[in-house]
Every structure is written in structure tokens, then in C-alpha cells.
């Protein structure tokens, strides 16, 4: 199985349980890993692979079009949309929240979901 990755997509959005998070917003970071059989390497035909800009657009649009309490929710929506694209067999999606409202020192909170086409 081959992989296409887009790492550390930076998006500003209004997700969180706290009212301040939904009012003020914050930065999020997203990693997408797509598992597929890449057939375009021999032919250089974009129609035989995934268009990276389309993947980015799906991530950005579905992460910013609505406010969610849990970052797991837009992650599930994005995974579902990406799995509907031709060629993608499975996906790994990570969402990081660097400024989660936790009283302590940490780099970020991260969720990871892994989904298969089946």
C-alpha cells in the first residue's frame, strides 16, 4: 500500500467545549495520511491518483464550516469525505489542539482516528 501525507495543516477554527473557545477560536494542526495504490507514477496522469489540493480543500472546508464541541466530530466528517474519493483505501487523521484549556504544561492535545473504506 502506498501513502500520501499532508502534514501540519494549520487551521484557525472555533471548536471546543468552553464558551471562550467557541467565541474566540484558536489554532489547530491536522495531519492526513491516505493509503492507496498510486498508479500515476508511471503515467504522470493526475486522474490516476489523488489531487493534494482537493484533499486540503476538503480538510479546510469541513473543519471550518461549523463550530463543534469536540474535535473528534470534524475529524470523523473529514475522514468520511476523504474515504469517498476514488482510490483511497484507508485514512489516518490527526488533529492537534495546541492551546487546549488545561491548567498545566504540555505541547498539545491530539486525537487520531483511523478509518477504512469498508
In angstroms, the Cα distances linking 5 to 54, 66, 112 are 13, 25, 14
- Residue in 5, 37, 67, 97 annotated catalytic: 97
Query: How buried is residue 113: exposed, middle or buried, by Cβ count under 10 Å (0-12/13-18/19+)?
Result: middle
Catalytic site residue 97? Answer: yes
Half-sphere exposure of 78 (CA within 13 A, CB side): 31
- Candidates 55, 11, 54; CA nearest to 30 is 11
Residues with catalytic roles: 97
Amino acid at each position: 500500500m502506498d501513502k500520501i501525507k499532508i502534514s501540519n495543516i494549520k487551521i484557525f477554527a472555533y471548536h471546543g467545549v468552553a464558551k471562550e473557545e467557541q467565541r474566540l477560536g484558536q489554532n489547530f494542526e491536522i495531519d492526513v495520511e491516505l493509503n492507496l495504490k498510486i498508479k500515476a507514477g508511471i503515467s504522470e496522469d493526475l486522474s490516476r491518483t489523488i489531487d493534494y489540493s482537493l484533499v486540503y480543500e476538503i480538510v479546510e472546508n469541513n473543519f471550518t464550516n461549523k463550530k463543534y464541541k469536540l474535535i473528534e466530530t470534524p475529524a470523523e466528517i473529514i475522514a468520511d469525505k476523504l474515504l469517498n474519493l476514488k482510490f483511497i483505501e484507508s485514512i489516518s487523521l490527526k488533529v492537534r489542539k495546541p492551546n487546549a484549556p488545561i491548567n498545566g504544561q504540555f505541547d498539545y492535545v491530539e486525537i487520531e482516528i483511523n478509518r477504512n473504506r469498508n
